[in-house]
Each structure stands twice: as structure tokens, then as C-alpha cells.
């Protein structure tokens, strides 16, 4: 897992869109043009261009290459990070936006339950040490409009 990039409140607002999160992941390893991304994500080029422009303004993507092809300038975009930390969040944690079906959301929740179960098992017989703390782990999967 990569180290989180520290972001401000305005950048955090840019990440409130599942499509923008998808764009960042699509550009994580390989620079791509608007056309390439729109084909990959099955989105319109206009929609991809709009959201990439906003991410570029927020310094969450960068243009790493430009090529001229038949008089048209192609811009290749790459994300600067896919994991973020917001100093302005009242209780720092892990948060993302995903576009999921109800079945996928249920599967994701079940995977979290299984992961927490493994950690409960792993730590159940542990003796308290000075560097150990009781931690509350809360995984909440809600529609984005119900979140913050």
C-alpha cells in the first residue's frame, strides 16, 4: 500500500465523486489520454475531460506528456496518488467512494467482517502491553448522499 498523500479540504471535496476516484485508479500506473480513459471506463469523453480538468486544477493528476498527432495535441494524464490523508477531517480514517451494486456492497461488507474476525482471533489472547491501546474499528458502508 502506498503512503497517503496529504490533501486539503478543497482536494478532499474533489474526491467526493466515484468517477473521479475511478479516474485516479485508471491513471495510477499508466499515463492515458482522455480518449483512452473514456474507452476503458465506458464514459463519454466530455465527462472524462470535465472531471480530469477538475482533478488537474486540484493537483491530483498531472500531465506527464503531450504529443501532436495530425495537428491535435494529445495530453497524457497520470494520478499523483490514489491514497489520501486529510488534515481537515475531524476523525482521520479510511474513506473512499465506490460505484457498487447492492450485491457488491454486501460482499464488501462481508469481507470486512471476515477481516475483523481474523484480527479478533489474532489478538484475543494477547496480554495488555504499555504500547497497546483499545481501538474501536467501525466500518460503515452507506450511500454517498447519506455520508458526509
Report which of residues 44 and 93 the model is more confident about: 44
pLDDT of residue 129: 82
Q: What is the mean pLDDT of residues 18-47?
A: 94
Whole-number pLDDT of residue 1: 45
Rounded Cα distance, 78 and 61, in Å:
5
Domains observed in the chain: 1-98 (1.10.10.10), 100-148 (no CATH)
> What kind and span of H or E run contains 53?
helix 45-57
* Structure-model confidence comparison of residues 32 and 124, the more confident one: 32
pLDDT tens digits, 105-130: 999 989 988 998 888 888 777 777 88
Whether 30 shows a pLDDT value over 60: the answer reads yes
Q: How many helices (H) and strands (E) does the chain have?
A: 5, 4
In contact, 32 and 111? CB cutoff 8 Å: no
Whole-angstrom distance, CA of residue 68 vs CA of residue 91: 46
Amino acid at each position: 500500500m502506498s503512503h497517503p498523500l496529504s490533501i486539503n479540504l478543497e482536494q478532499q471535496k474533489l474526491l467526493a465523486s466515484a468517477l473521479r476516484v475511478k479516474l485516479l485508479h485508471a491513471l495510477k500506473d499508466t499515463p492515458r489520454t482522455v480518449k483512452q480513459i473514456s474507452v476503458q471506463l465506458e464514459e463519454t469523453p466530455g465527462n472524462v475531460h470535465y472531471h480530469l480538468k477538475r482533478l488537474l486544477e486540484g493537483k491530483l493528476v498531472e500531465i506527464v506528456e503531450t504529443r501532436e498527432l495530425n495537428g491535435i495535441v494529445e495530453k497524457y494524464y497520470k494520478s499523483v496518488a490514489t491514497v489520501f490523508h486529510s488534515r481537515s477531517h475531524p476523525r482521520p480514517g479510511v474513506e473512499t467512494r465506490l460505484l457498487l451494486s447492492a450485491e457488491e456492497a454486501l460482499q464488501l461488507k462481508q469481507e470486512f467482517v471476515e477481516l475483523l474476525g481474523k484480527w479478533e482471533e489474532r489478538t484475543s489472547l494477547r496480554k495488555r502491553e504499555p504500547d497497546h491501546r483499545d481501538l474501536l474499528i467501525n466500518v460503515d458502508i452507506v450511500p454517498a448522499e447519506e455520508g458526509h
